[in-house]
Amino acid sequence: MTITDDTRIDYAAARKAMIDSQLRTSGVNEAFVLARMSVVPREDFVPETAKGVAYMDRAVRLGDGRFLPAPVFHGAMLAEARPRQDDRVLVIDGGSGYLAELVRPMVETIETVDPEAAASGKVEGSFSLILIDGAAEHIPSKLVALLEQDGRIVGGLVERGVTRLATGRHSGSAIAMLPLSEMGIPRLGAFDKPASWSF
C-alpha cells in the first residue's frame, strides 16, 4: 500500500476492525485488553511510510532489525500477563515502544530496555512482571535474576524454529516457560542460545 498526500486513513475504524477481526476471532476478549488496544494508536509507533499497514495482522518492519509485532501477539500477551496496579514492570522492547504504552496506566512502575541491554545484564532492579516484546530462544540468567520470586514473565519463545506465546514464573533459581499458542512473533537475536561446539 502506497500512502500519498491525498490518502485519508480512518485509524479509529482500523483499530475497531483490528479488535473485531483479529483479537476477538483469536479468543482475545478481555475487556481491559480491548480497552487499551482501542485507544493506543499503533500508527504512532511506526515510521511514516508504514502507517498505512500499522493494523495488518502481521509484524511491521521498523528498520534496523526492529519490528512492531502483530496485534494478536500483544493482545494475547496482555491477557496472559494480567498487569496489576502494584506491578513493577520491565518491558524488553522490540523497537516500537507500543507495548510499554499499552501497559503504562495499568501498573505501578514501568521500565523499558532494549533486548541487548537485557541480555547482557545492563539492567538493575527487581520486577514483578517482565514482558518480552518478541520471541526469545532462551532466557539469560541475568534476566532471570531481575524477576522477583513468584514473578511472572510473558513473551515469545522460539523452539525448533517455531514461535509461540509463552508464560512463566520465577521459582527457585530458574524460570520454567510454558509454551501456549503458536503464532508469528519476531525473533529477538539478543536472546539466541550461545553457539556451542558439537562433534
CATH number of the domain to which 144 belongs: 3.40.50.150
Per the document, the length of the chain is 199
Q: Judge whether 3 lies within some domain.
A: no
For residue 66, give the H/E element and its range. Answer: strand 66-68
Structural domain that includes position 70:
11-187
What SS3 state is found at 76?
helix
d(CA 106, CA 103) in angstroms, rounded, equals 6
Q: How many domains does the chain have?
A: 1
- In a domain, residue 37? The reply is yes
Q: State the burial class of residue 182 (Cβ atoms within 10 Å of its Cβ: 0-12, 13-18, 19+).
A: exposed
In a domain, 195, yes or no: no
Tens digits of pLDDT across the chain (199 residues):
444 444 688 999 999 999 999 999 999 999 999 999 999 999 999 999 999 999 999 999 998 889 999 999 999 999 999 999 999 999 999 999 999 999 999 999 999 999 999 988 889 999 999 999 999 998 888 898 999 999 999 999 999 889 999 999 988 877 888 999 999 999 999 999 876 555 5
Contact at 8 Å (CB) between 54 and 42?
Answer: yes
Element at 63 (helix H, strand E): strand 60-63
Sign of dihedral through CA atoms 100, 159, 185, 65? positive
DSSP assignments along 140-199, one per residue: -HHHHTTEEEEEEEEEEEEETTEEEEEEEEEETTEEEEEEEEE----B-GGGSPPP----
Asked whether residue 5 is domain-assigned, the answer is no
In a domain, 196, yes or no: no
Cell of 162: 517455531
Is position 79 within any domain? yes
Instruction: Give a yes or no: residue 24 inside a domain.
Output: yes
Residue 192 lies in a domain: no
